[in-house]
């Protein structure tokens, strides 16, 4: 079993829909990261969370440490949100970039 599991693997949505991507992990962590990877391959860090909730524009990320679960929400989705979203965790006590990655959720938003 992978230490970081994401669901769903693939997601197709219509423009304007509310989207949720889930991430569960089985290790003790110091932080959880949400990353976005566009078809060209580049990776952008969206959020780094250790508790609670963060919001940036139409993106919201939440984490429940007790349940070892995080969600990434996209409100009013747009075709430009089409990308692979990757959840990654820092093992507790590990260095910042020593991440364990989920396999990613491929999101396609249709106009």
Q: Which of residues 50-69 bind another protein (CB under 8 A)?
A: 50
The least distance separating another protein from the CB of residue 42, rounded to whole angstroms, comes to 5
Task: Judge whether 108 and 53 are in contact, CB under 8 Å.
Answer: no
Binding mask 8-37 for another protein (x = CB under 8 A): ----------------------xx-x-x--
Question: Quick one: which of 8, 9, 16, 44 contacts another protein (CB under 8 A)?
Answer: 44
E strand segments, the chain? 4-7, 10-14, 19-25, 29-37, 43-49, 52-56, 59-64, 69-74, 83-91, 99-101, 105-110
Binding site residues, another protein, CB under 8 A:
30-31, 33, 35, 40-45, 48, 50, 86, 88, 90, 92-104
């Amino acid at each position: 079993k992978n230490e970081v599991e994401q669901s769903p693997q693939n997601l197709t949505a219509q423009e304007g829909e509310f989207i949720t991507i889930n991430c569960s992990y089985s290790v003790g962590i110091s932080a959880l990261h949400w990353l976005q990877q566009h078809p060209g391959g580049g990776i952008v860090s969206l959020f780094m969370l250790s508790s609670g909730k963060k919001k940036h524009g139409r993106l919201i990320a939440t984490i429940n440490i007790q349940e070892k679960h995080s969600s990434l929400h996209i409100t009013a989705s747009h075709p430009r949100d089409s990308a692979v979203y990757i959840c990654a965790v820092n093992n507790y006590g590990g260095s910042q970039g020593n991440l364990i990655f989920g396999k990613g959720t491929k999101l396609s938003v249709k106009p």
